[in-house]
Structure 1
Amino acid sequence: MAAATADTTASAYDRMKAVKEFDESKSGVKGLSDSGITSIPDIFVHPPDTLSELKPSSNAATLSIPVIDLSDLNSTDRRPMIVAQIKEAARTWGFFQLINHGVPVSTIDETLDAIKAFHEQPQEAKSKYYRRDENRGVMYASNSDLYRSKAAAWRDGLQVWMGPDPPEVEEIPEVCRGEVVAWDRHATEVAENVMELLGEGLGLERGRFKELTFSEKRMFAGICYPPCPEPERTVGLTPHSDSSFLTVLVQNQVKGLRVKHGGEWVEVSPVRGGLIVNVGDFLQIVSNGEYQSVEHCVAANSAKEPRISIVMFLNLVKWRSGSSNYYGPLPELLSPERPAIYRDFTEQEFSHNLFSKGFDSKSMIAKIKIPN
């Protein structure tokens, strides 16, 4: 038993040493991919059983996330139908794709190109942004949860906190500076429109979610999933649900995103000009379980082109007043017939759950669910 314990300890120590060496190289996964390696380092290898569970089933081949057309959003004829569509999508899928959302396709393409250009810079140009300060400012790193996860994923990311305390504009890398600032404006406008529709679906007054500051804490992530020499041995992003209130995502034409629906993984085919929106854990809690956050992941791939995605995570700034800074289901959604199914929780509890481990699925929701 003592020998087995020693072996386990040595193995864990060796892996952490390899993680530290990779991190300190500041080369990222892009650097590994560009170096021409033919096999991936052990820190990126995931258990075969885990990987086999992430494959889309043959039954899921005909499924796709709902596509919702926001044309004439404010017309008296169209709006009730759009509210009903978004409500149903948020209840049953937790994901939906928007078209005719008001953001020009040219703007989307320019933003994707700018993020790709950042990741394709030489290491010395990117390394000055390489750090692990997840809660503020500008950070470029490979795997934000690198030291907390059991196995690393095949991705690098540029992260910029755009609200409530954005960095000085000059702190954002010049190669994508204008596009990041503009995208914050576009994605926030789309998110606030969607929040209104989701709120109306719950019977809330227009603007209720914005009033509660659910669009004020915003984190921009420009993610690169480089070509992988052994995509069958790793992942681009491990299965998880977003802890945020709402997430807005745009991707290039390289496949990889998968969403869990009905116990099966469904591959999301890229639609040029489409914006993907998904429900976060916070919205599931606030809606008292009416809307569902769901597991999703990104597969590693051996395509010649990197997969580029731009993600905007939105959450609240102003927690409820009081010494405990608590949050939970909105009181106006509760009644004797529909009591709270989640308890209130503090900002400290939420942050600790998020930053004390690697990406996972709905662990916060599981912790605060009130037993039947």
Structure 2
Amino acid sequence: MSLHCQKSAKGDKVNTHKFKADIHQDREDSEAMAIEPPFFEKYKAILQSSANEKEKPPTVEGFEELELPLIDLSHLNLGPLERQECIEKMGQAAIEWGFFQIVNHAVPDELLNRLKQEQIKVFQQPFDKKSENNFLNLSVQSYRWGNPLATSLRNLSWSEALHISLKDISKMDEYNKLRPYWWRYFDGTSDQMPSAMAPCCCLLHLISVTVACLTQCAFEFASDRQHGLNFTLIRQHDPSTIEEYAEKANFLAQRLAEYLAQNLGIKANYFQENCSPSSSSLRMNRYPPCPYPSMMFGIIPHTDTDFLTIVSQDQVGGLQLKRNGRWVSVKPNPKALVVNIGDFYQALSNGVYKSITHRVIANQETERYSAAYFYCPTYETVIESCSKPSLYKKFSFKEYREQIQKDVKATGDKVGLSRFLL
């Protein structure tokens, strides 16, 4: 029956445009559901048990919002007094907050925007694809979601992440990683796909991308001129966006670690000797809208297993840290990157710098994206406090990681540095 002839019970003609819009909306809803991890299925027993036993859910609302100490790294290039003042300010923030934010950090906004688009493209893949062992040619379990060992509301995480070891980035070829997924967005009735799924960030300026546009060449893509863009051939990123960001983040992390070391008397080449890009990692996070934002976290409270973490985040907000025994919300700064001290720097500094417990709260309406660069030592590096008497016994990255794995398996939570107190 033609839609134009179909009648309702009252004899009115069906609104064809509305009918088509409803079909389109149903299709979009179905595709949106297909990308989400099965949180409800995984957490069903915990949610039911909590309701039956009236378990007190974690409280994640109504917190004071504070701005982190702001460090302008351009002052490092001024005179000796300004440089020293900047380094001391950085150290003071590491002591008092364990967190600070930096501007004029030499990571271009354009690169950060490209990184965000890469995250969107990756996480918009169907969950079945993301959970495959060889997703994007990365190591097994690079894609992670939720907390598989959660036993109660307090250790539920409503998020998904792609944890990339820097030595694996070269495997993420910009063309091959997305090509297998293009075709599912062509349903046979159209030769166009959403531009958000296109393999080249430059194409995101277009409303849609044609099949011919994508298949013209394996490494180059023609643009659609009807939208007034002056692209003829668009070459894939070389190096890739993720690789480019990781290189800049690693350089920045090493510089920050060295500046912080000056306040402690640690030798200048300590981090060059004990850290390498291949030992660090990048974690791209997505926090989907959560229907129970007052009952669970985006990421559960934790500290970071590294020397330093550099975080690029969007404007949705949700990062909270524990300060003076209470939780406070961090006000997002569109111009800044967030830096926090990790467990290894706390141990190295003999407790002077603080690895602060932090978390991300869930949001009911809006998804959130962030990217965290973890600056880590090599697996065999032994962490020893820089002063005496030492608060911590010596341990290697390998020993620390193995202890964490045991604790998480046993309790669902990381215990951390307290395991290594003398």
TM-score bracket, normalised by the shorter chain, equals 0.7 to 0.9
Quick one: which of 351, 359, 364 aligns to 2:416? Answer: 364
Whether the aligned pair in 1 keeps the contact of 2:133 and 2:140 (CA below 8 Å) is no
1:95 maps to what in 2? 99
**Runs of at least 5 residues in structure 2 that lack an aligned partner in the other structure:** 1-32, 179-198, 202-236
Match of 1:30 in 2: 36
Partners of 1:72 and 1:344 lie apart in 2 by: 36
Among 146, 149, 152, which residue is 1:147 paired with?
149
Q: Per the alignment, do residues 147 and 195 of structure 1 end up closer, same or farther by CA in structure 2, a change over 3 Å counting?
A: same
Q: How much identity, in percent, do the aligned residues show?
A: 27
Residue in 2 that maps onto 1:285: 347
| Structure 1 match to 2:322 | 260
Say if 1:209 and 1:137 are closer, same or farther in 2 by CA, change over 3 A. Answer: farther
Partner of 1:74: 77
Partner of 1:317: 378
Tell me, yes or no, if the aligned pair for 2:71 and 2:89 is still in contact at 8 Å: yes
- Quick check: 1:250–1:275 contact (8 Å CA) kept in 2? yes
Could you say if the C-alpha distance between residues 137 and 88 of structure 1 is closer, same or farther in structure 2, counting changes exceeding 3 Å?
farther
Question: Deviation digits for residues 265-314 of structure 1, max 9, x if unmatched?
Answer: 111122113111111111100111111101000101012x3100101112
1:105 pairs with 101, 105, 109, which one? 109
Contact kept in structure 1, 2:308 and 2:376, CA below 8 Å: yes
- Shift of the 31–343 alpha-carbon distance from structure 1 to 2, 3 Å rule, reads closer
Cα pair distance change 1:287/1:137, threshold 3 Å? farther
Q: Give the aligned residue type for 2:81.
A: D
Name the counterpart of 2:261.
199
Query: What is the aligned counterpart of 2:368 among 307, 311, 315?
Result: 307
Contact 1:256-1:299 at 8 Å conserved across structures: yes
Deviation at 1:81, TM superposition (A): 1.0
Other-structure match for 1:190: 252
TM-score by length of 1: 0.76
Question: Once structures 1 and 2 are overlaid, which stretch shifts more, 212-221 or 179-188?
Answer: 212-221
Contiguous gaps of at least 5 residues in structure 1: 1-26, 321-325
- Note if contact 2:378-2:397 (Cα within 8 Å) is conserved in structure 1: no
Further displaced range: 112-121 or 280-289? 112-121
Which one of the candidate residues 295, 301, 315 is aligned to 1:239?
Answer: 301
Which structure: larger Rg? 2
What root-mean-square deviation, in Å, do the aligned CA atoms of Structure 1 and Structure 2 show?
3.0
Cα deviation code 1:206-258 (max 9, x no counterpart): 34322222665111111110111221121101011112111111111111110
Question: CA separation in 1, counterparts of 2:331 and 2:92?
Answer: 21
**Is the contact made by 1:216 and 1:316 (CA closer than 8 Å) also made in structure 2?**
no
Counterpart of 2:360 in structure 1 is 298
- For 2:257 and 2:277, the matched residues in 1 are separated by 9
Deviates more, 1:253-262 or 1:172-181: 172-181
- 8 Å contact 1:258–1:297 — kept in the other structure? yes
Deviates most, 270-279 or 211-220: 211-220
8 Å CA contact 1:28, 1:141 repeated in 2: no
In structure 1, how many angstroms separate the alpha carbons of the residues matched to 2:129 and 2:282?
20
Give distance in 2, aligned partners of 1:166 and 1:267. Answer: 32
For normalisation by structure 2, the TM-score amounts to 0.67
- Distance in 2 (CA, whole Å) between partners of 1:44 and 1:218 is 36
Matched with 2:389 is 339
- CA distance 1:191–1:254, change in 2 (3 Å): same
In structure 2, relative to structure 1, the CA distance for the partners of 1:43 and 1:217 (3 Å cut) is farther
Which amino acid in the other structure matches residue 213 of structure 1?
A: C
Following the alignment from structure 2 to structure 1, what is the Cα–Cα distance between the partners of residues 45 and 110?
40
* Shift, 1:117, TM fit: 1.9
> Is the 8 Å Cα contact of residues 249 and 277 (structure 1) preserved in structure 2?
yes
CA distance in 2, matches of 1:122, 1:108: 24
**Secondary structure at the counterpart of residue 309 of structure 2:** strand
In 2: Cα distance, 1:258 partner to 1:29 partner: 27
The CA distance in 1 between the partners of 2:339 and 2:172, in whole Å, is 27
Contact 2:380 2:398 in 1 (8 A): no
In structure 1, the residue matched to 2:3 is none
Q: 1:350 — aligned with what?
A: 400
The separation in 2 between residues aligned to 1:189 and 1:203, in whole angstroms, is: 21
CA displacement 1:30-64 (0-9 Å, x = unmatched): 2458xxx8xx7344687864512x4454xx34x33
Instruction: Tell me how far apart the structure 2 counterparts of residues 44 and 99 of structure 1 sit (CA, whole Å).
Output: 42
Shift of 1:74: 3.2
State the one-letter code of the partner of 2:406.
S
Closer, same or farther in 2 for the Cα pair 1:116/1:209, shift >3 Å? same
C-alpha displacement of 1:169: 3.7
From 372, 375, 384, the equivalent of 1:328 is: 384
Q: Secondary structure at the match of 1:77?
A: helix
Structure 1 residues 296 and 348: CA distance shift in structure 2, 3 A: same
